[in-house]
Amino acid sequence: MEFLEDNHWAALAGLFAGGALGLSSSIGRFCTLGAIEDALYGNDYSRLRMWALALAVAISGMFTLEEFGYVDYSQTIYYAIKWNPLASIVGGLMFGWGMALAGNCGFGALSRMAGGDMRSFVVAIVMAISAYMAIGGPTAVVREWLFPQQAFSGEMQGLAHLTGRWFDAGPLIPALMFASICAVWAFSGKQFRTSPTHIIWSVVVGMAVVLGFWATSLIANNGFDEISVESVSYSAPMGETLIYLMTWSGSTMNFGIGSVTGVLIGSIIGTKVKDRFRWEACDDARELGRSVFGAFIMGTGGVVALGCSIGQGLTGFSVLAYSAPVVLASIFIGASLGLRYLIHGFQNV
């Protein structure tokens, strides 16, 4: 049966992982920009603590699976492509600034689009197009000139592996230490640790990241087709999904397409459960213009940085790649500057 081909199994894994993220967004309010806004302007760190706990679950899960030979992420983009610090910084800043202007990251746009937000629909389409333009379109020429990507096959480009080499040990113990730090900080907030909703959906997000890596590793090791070992990310996969919808018979289903579809389905279900479906649009033409421009530079920045707030901030961080904390910090700074610009204008940025 065609459905049983390896790429379809990968897409099915993506569907479940993306569905879990969609539910976490629509029911658990897991959101990148929302977490940053709450921390900067509401003095509420609960959603940032959700991120920390999700990372603790993902990191401990990933390195435990690696220790027992169930996952090999050495050929993922985080380790197989030589880390370019400048690309991580510039791409992260672009993504963060664009996220602030657009009002959502790619993952958030998919989730809100499922709840009836037509501005998010525009953001998702523009981001998908700009990401693919940066991969193989006109902006790819500039990207490749400024930030060339090189294959890498040296020592593992990971923080846990680096720490392990310092102490002549494996990466598991350092990884569990990183995870413990994240978990301790998450539970240090009383509002967070007394909220079952925050805790449960944080764990769901972390497990979704682990599921993606585990499932694609299983398929890659036991299947007959060439399947990439990957997990959730929403820059290039949104472009892939758009291409697939337009060229159904000429494209191949994969994990990323399944993941994008899963976010939409999970968010639709969560929106119905919470009875939050509302048709919404932009307030005026200026807001639409900001959203389109923000989505464009967000899609481009996500490709330059080799991942979005989810692709690097969660998935890349779960394997403690060098790039992940740099990209995540740059996204935070870019989003902070973008939000300040929206509130105060350029003179106070």
Spans of all domains in the chain: 2-75+83-151+196-348
- Encode pLDDT of 321-339 as tens digits: 999 999 999 999 999 999 9
pLDDT at 118: 92
Give the residue-averaged pLDDT of 277-281: 85
> Residue 202, Cα to own-chain centre: how many angstroms?
14
Mean pLDDT across the stretch 105-125?
93
Residue 313 to residue 308: CA distance in whole angstroms: 7
pTM of the full structure: 0.94
Q: Which residue has the tokens 């995870």?
A: 179
Tokens representing residue 74 in the block: 């050495």
3-state secondary structure of 209: helix
**Beta carbons within 10 angstroms of residue 1's beta carbon:** 5
Mean pLDDT confidence for 103-114? 93
Q: What are the counts of helices (DSSP H) followed by strands (DSSP E) for the chain?
A: 17, 0
Q: What is the Cα–Cα distance from 220 to 316, expressed in whole angstroms?
A: 19
Q: Which residue has the tokens 């509002």?
A: 191
Please compute the mean of the pLDDT values over residues 109-137 and round it to a whole number: 94
pLDDT of residue 1: 40
Token pair of 311 as six digits = 């692709």
Residue 233, helix vs strand vs coil:
coil
Report CA Rg, the chain.
19
Residues 258, 151, 213, 199, CA torsion sign: negative
d(CA 49, CA 193): 9
With both helix axes pointing from N to C terminus, report the angle between 106-114 and 6-26 in degrees, rounded to the nearest 10.
Answer: 80
| pLDDT number for residue 249 | 72
State the chain's mean pLDDT as an integer: 92
Q: Do 322 and 258 form a contact (C-beta atoms < 8 A)?
A: no
Gap between the Cα atoms of 30 and 309, Å rounded:
12
**Angle, CA 30 vertex, CA 28 and CA 35 arms, to 5°:** 130
What pLDDT does residue 241 have?
A: 94
Buried b (16+ CB within 10 A) or exposed e, 55-64: bbbbbbbbbb
pLDDT digits (tens, 9 = 90+) for 131-149: 999 999 999 999 999 999 9
The Cα–Cα gap between 205 and 222 comes to 26
CA-closest candidate to residue 264, choices 115, 51, 105: 115
DSSP lists the bridge partners of residue 16 as: none
The structure tokens listed for 194 are 């007394």
Query: Could you read off the pLDDT of 182-220 as tens digits, one per residue?
Result: 999 999 999 999 999 999 999 999 999 999 999 999 999
Q: Which helix (H) or strand (E) is 221 found in, with range?
A: helix 196-222
Percentage of residues in the chain having pLDDT higher than 90: 82
CA dihedral 255, 256, 257, 260 (to 10 degrees): 120
d(CA 211, CA 46): 25
